[in-house]
């Protein structure tokens, strides 16, 4: 196979697998269903990915990288913490508006075997992102630019406010009585509410 068709076929498989795994999780996904959705035969699917585990690894690693996004580069910028918070919230909200099933998929799979998933997928880069965020907050606290808030709680508050409306979307839609279109409009508005809430929490 030439490189172009090789890449195109592999990408078709990854795109199909992402939909199936996000919808049904590892346990519910079937290789035949992924092959059918990618419009390839099962033999070709196994040519690229020898097993369901191997394909899931590729999809979950993609999910983790998307969740960490370009946060590392934002945290390295020579800008204020408030500006970094704005960019991080925009980055996450843009990602989740395009991939609303992503956080529910990641959290559901991690909860099945948290120790194994954390060791396999959530070390290294993710830990670095958290450490850099903590460092950015602590520097501004030490400089007297923001109030003395626990950086860990600030991080958890920000991530929770971003992720929960997507993880809990079906329940929230029922509670507030809106359809998918209206919910998406609310999520577009939400980014500014989250920014304001988090920044108000850190201002002296």
Q: What is the pLDDT of residue 5?
A: 60
Q: Which CATH number characterizes residue 1's domain?
A: 1.10.10.60
Same domain, 45 and 88: no
What value does the mean pLDDT take over residues 57-82? 85
Measured CA to CA, the distance from residue 104 to residue 110 in angstroms comes to 10
Same domain, 8 and 36: yes
Same domain, 55 and 103: no
Q: What is the pLDDT of residue 147?
A: 94
C-alpha dist (Å) from residue 67 to 8, 70, 104, 138, 168: 24, 9, 12, 23, 17
The three-class DSSP label of residue 152 is: helix
Same domain, 46 and 115: no
Measured CA to CA, the distance from residue 31 to residue 67 in angstroms comes to 25
What value does the mean pLDDT take over residues 88-105? 88
Instruction: Of 189, 160, 182, 18, give the one whose Cα is nearest residue 102.
Output: 18
Q: Which domain holds residue 45?
A: 1-61
Residue 144 zone, left/alpha/beta (φ > 0; ψ -120 to 50; rest): left
Q: What is the pLDDT of residue 54?
A: 94
Same domain, 86 and 175: yes
* Count of residues in the chain: 204
pLDDT at residue 13 is higher than 90: yes
26-37 per-position pLDDT tens digit: 999 999 999 999
The three-class DSSP label of residue 204 is: coil
Contact (Cβ atoms closer than 8 angstroms) between residue 75 and residue 136: yes
Measured CA to CA, the distance from residue 169 to residue 187 in angstroms comes to 10
Same domain, 89 and 159: yes
pLDDT at residue 122 is higher than 80: no
Same domain, 178 and 105: yes
Same domain, 76 and 139: yes
Same domain, 124 and 155: yes
pLDDT at residue 118 is higher than 90: no
Which percentage of the chain shows pLDDT scores above 70? 94
CA dihedral 9→12→17→18, nearest 10 degrees, is: 140
Q: Which CATH number characterizes residue 103's domain?
A: 1.10.357.10
Instruction: Of 121, 193, 203, give the one whose Cα is nearest residue 162.
Output: 193
pLDDT at residue 125 is higher than 70: no
Measured CA to CA, the distance from residue 56 to residue 14 in angstroms comes to 9
Mean pLDDT for the chain overall? 88
Same domain, 46 and 120: no
Same domain, 48 and 105: no
Q: What is the pLDDT of residue 123?
A: 66
Tell me, letter by letter, the H, E, C secondary structure of 116-172: HHHHHHCCCHHHHHHHHHHHHHHHHHHCCCCCCCCHHHHHHHHHHHHHHHHHCHHHH
Q: What is the pLDDT of residue 197?
A: 95
Domain boundary among 38, 61, 84: 61
Instruction: Kindly give the interhelix angle for 102-112 and 81-98, rounded to the nearest 10 degrees.
Output: 90
- The pTM for the full model equals 0.79
What confidence category does residue 103 fall into, taking pLDDT thresholds of 50, 70 and 90? confident
Q: What is the pLDDT of residue 204?
A: 87
Q: What is the pLDDT of residue 99?
A: 85
Contact (Cβ atoms closer than 8 angstroms) between residue 203 and residue 147: yes
């Amino acid at each position: 196979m030439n490189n172009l068709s090789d890449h195109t076929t592999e990408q078709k498989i990854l795109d199909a697998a992402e939909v199936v795994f996000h919808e049904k999780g590892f346990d519910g996904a079937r290789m035949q269903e992924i092959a059918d959705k990618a419009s390839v035969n099962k033999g070709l699917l196994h040519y690229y990915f020898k097993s369901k585990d191997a394909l899931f690894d590729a999809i979950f690693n993609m999910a983790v990288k998307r969740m960490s996004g370009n946060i590392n580069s934002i945290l390295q910028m020579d800008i204020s913490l408030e500006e970094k918070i704005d960019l991080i919230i925009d980055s996450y909200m843009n990602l989740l508006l395009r991939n609303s099933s992503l956080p529910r998929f990641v959290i559901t799979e991690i909860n099945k075997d948290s120790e194994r998933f954390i060791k396999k997928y959530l070390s290294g880069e993710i830990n670095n992102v958290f450490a850099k965020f903590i460092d950015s907050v602590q520097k501004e606290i030490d400089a007297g630019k923001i109030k003395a808030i626990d950086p860990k709680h600030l991080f958890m508050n920000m991530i929770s406010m971003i992720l929960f409306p997507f993880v809990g979307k079906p329940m929230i839609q029922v509670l507030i009585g809106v359809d998918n279109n209206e919910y998406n409009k609310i999520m577009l508005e939400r980014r500014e509410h989250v920014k304001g809430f988090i920044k108000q929490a850190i201002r002296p």
